[in-house]
Amino acid sequence: MSPSFHETVAELDPSVQPGALQHHITRDLPGVGVLDFESAPAGWVAKNGERRSRDHRAYYLTAHGPCPAGCDEGREPGARPGTTRKCKTCGGTGQPKRRQLISVTTLIGQITPKAGLMPWAEARGIEGAVEAVRRGLIDPADEAADVVRVVRGAGLGADRARDQAADRGLDVHACLERYMLTGEPPRLQDHPVEHAGYVRALALWLDVVQPEPVSVEEVVCDPDAGYAGRYDLVAKVDGQVGLFDAKTSERGGIYDAAHLQLALRRRAMVASGDGMVDFGRVVLFAADGSWRMMDQAADDGLVDAAVDFAHRLGPVTALCERENRQARREQAERLAAGPASGRLPGRPPRQPRPVARHRRARPRPPRRHPSPRLALRGDGPPRAPR
């Protein structure tokens, strides 16, 4: 039987196949379990058939060993004597359930402030608006909301600049990984022109430091702390083995989040059975072709505090996201129902009130007793004595 049109399209374009992944890495950690990393970009179709609204990146751990509840091959005693039912703890598999771990990047994003992010985004937005005016896309008399929409649609705002910075980092990391695995040196002609300075800095660092690779781009996790990540490079330099975390920055700045990220991955290496390293260093490649290194400044106490804070904040963050999603769905339903309805979804429309008929006011009856002033002037009958 020949494949249908939709099956053929799914084979050619994995983004339309429900649940398809762009990257999937699996690593068996002895004594720990099976660690999976999967990712899919925004716009790809998820398992539920809806397109992803944002990039999907997740780590999952399936521990080794039998079910923690001690069931018999996924069956546990039922409510009535002599009966069994599917184990609720393992879901009938007889093995521990697959659980999701928080990524190092997400953990750090929850606890470290980004003081320079707002000024950076503001500067990119202003630059995008100026460029849009030069191209004739917007007019200074346009509404602010229209200007924002045009700048974003033309790829001139902060979102586009952020994506370009991410592409730059991925390009440099791929270049480093390729050299460490194959020995192929970086070549400027193989990279975009805007990445030339960073690639040049990487080549100079490789020539000066001469790192001997031990392992490259491995996924690691700390099951007790509940997080996972992926380190860049473990290499031997001057007879010592160290963990290197590569960063790219236009202005050549190293921030506290990089040190915390390095410390978290270093601890996860030990928990995954990769052993200890002698040192950890952050390596920065700048746009002007320069590079510099900085030894790890975050200690184990900071790692413990960061993990504890992230786990305490996690349920609050999840609750807010769930409530916000529900609010956005209700708002979308209200907009779909029409702007004139003005009612919440699921509620019956309001019944119009009956219009009240106005009657003429009846004339006020005359006073029974005239005013005392009239009685004093003699214009009326005197008041009766009390």
Using the CB atoms, write b or e for 369-379: b if 16+ within 10 Å. eeeeeeeeeee
Task: Examine residue 194 and state whether it is found in any structural domain, yes or no.
Answer: yes
Tell me: the pLDDT tens digits for 219-248?
A: 999 999 999 999 999 999 999 999 999 998
Q: How many residues does the chain have?
A: 386
Confidence of residue 279 (pLDDT cuts 50, 70, 90): very high
Query: Which token pair is 76?
Result: 């546990």
Check residue 172 and give its pLDDT. 87
Task: Examine residue 100 and state whether it is found in any structural domain, yes or no.
Answer: no
Check residue 1 and give its pLDDT. 43
Task: Examine residue 170 and state whether it is found in any structural domain, yes or no.
Answer: yes
Place of tokens 């890495």: 25
Task: Examine residue 315 and state whether it is found in any structural domain, yes or no.
Answer: no
How many domains is the chain built from? 1
Tell me: the pLDDT tens digits for 84-139?
A: 888 887 877 888 888 999 999 888 888 876 655 666 667 767 777 777 777 888 77
Check residue 127 and give its pLDDT. 74
Range of the domain at 268: 109-298
CA 171 to chain centre: 21
Q: Which of 21, 106, 102 has the alpha carbon at shortest distance from 60?
A: 102
> Considering just the CA atoms, what is the radius of gyration of the chain in Å?
34
pLDDT at position 8 over 50: no
Confidence of residue 9 (pLDDT cuts 50, 70, 90): very low
Tell me: the pLDDT tens digits for 49-75?
A: 888 878 888 999 998 888 888 887 788
Tell me: the pLDDT tens digits for 332-386?
A: 888 888 655 445 555 555 565 665 555 555 666 665 655 555 444 545 555 555 5
List, in sequence order, every beta strand (DSSP E) within the chain.
23-29, 33-40, 56-63, 75-77, 84-86, 99-103, 212-222, 227-237, 240-249, 279-286, 291-295
Give the domain CATH number at 266.
3.40.1350.10
Task: Examine residue 74 and state whether it is found in any structural domain, yes or no.
Answer: no
Confidence of residue 2 (pLDDT cuts 50, 70, 90): very low
Tell me: the pLDDT tens digits for 21-52?
A: 988 999 999 988 999 999 988 888 888 888 88
d(CA 85, CA 226) in angstroms, rounded, equals: 30
Task: Examine residue 282 and state whether it is found in any structural domain, yes or no.
Answer: yes
8 A C-beta contact, residue 32 and residue 64: yes
What are the distances in angstroms from CA 339 to CA 104, 143, 193, 331, 353?
43, 22, 49, 11, 21
8 A C-beta contact, residue 382 and residue 375: yes
pLDDT at position 314 over 90: no
Task: Examine residue 92 and state whether it is found in any structural domain, yes or no.
Answer: no
Q: Which of 7, 60, 13, 9 has the alpha carbon at shortest distance from 41?
A: 13
pLDDT at position 82 over 90: no
Task: Examine residue 372 and state whether it is found in any structural domain, yes or no.
Answer: no
d(CA 90, CA 98) in angstroms, rounded, equals: 9
d(CA 268, CA 101) in angstroms, rounded, equals: 12
Tell me: the pLDDT tens digits for 164-220?
A: 666 777 788 888 999 899 888 888 888 788 888 999 999 999 999 999 999 999 999
